[in-house]
Amino acid sequence: MASRLLMLLALLAVAFRDAMASDPSLLQDFCVADKMSKVNVNGFACKDAEDVVVEDFVFSGFHIAGNTTNKQGSAVTAANVAQVPGLNTMGISMARIDFAPKGLNPPHIHPRATEILTVLEGSLYVGFITSIPGSRLISKVLTKGDVFVFPKALVHFQFNYGTENAVAIAGLSSQNPGVIPVANTVFGSNPSLSDDILAKAFQVDKNTVDWIQAQFN
């Protein structure tokens, strides 16, 4: 009897842990972000329902091409909770990504979201890298209408190898997916990582580290 009780308690503990690990379901129709609230919560506090307006659920901007006149030749136009307060607690967001010829959305991570991307115009070479062991590159050239999935928190990229502009739309499984550009984060941190750490990690000399850091500072 005691062993059965212990087994039941263990199963309940596992079930409770798994239930607590998932995002909570909405307990109301919506929870529009109140960005003026001083309440400290994971996300944003809810605006009073009486103060909610249609503009809280609207974003106008995906019809405008992003400015790709930068070093990477790409531009991301985000539509997450920062731009659309009505996305608060909804667990979803979008982005438009514009690419000049040879433009790159450099290797980066979304720590809180899976991404699904479709090409609207042009073609893109895209891919992600699996975790260790393996570090396998999963990649493909996409053309107009193709869809590709980037698993949550894995390093991934998109590159316009062609001679024409390219445009893609991405959906992300978080109201605030976050973005960690690999090169910018490692070589452009504030304060900077020490030369000793970077030189050993990348197996290069300190002069090379200093030169790369100068590109991001």
Binding-site residue numbers for oxalate are: 105, 110, 115
CA atoms of 139 and 3, how far apart (whole Å): 51
Cβ atoms of residues 30 and 87 within 8 Å:
no
Q: What is the dihedral of CA 5, 6, 7, 12, to 10 degrees?
A: 90
Which residues are annotated binding-site positions?
105, 108, 110, 115, 156
E strand intervals along 53-114: 74-79, 93-99, 104-109
Which residue intervals of 71-194 are DSSP H helices?
182-187
Which residues are annotated binding-site positions for Mn(2+)?
108, 110, 115, 156
CA atoms of 73 and 101, how far apart (whole Å): 8
Beta-strand relationship, 74-79 and 93-99: antiparallel
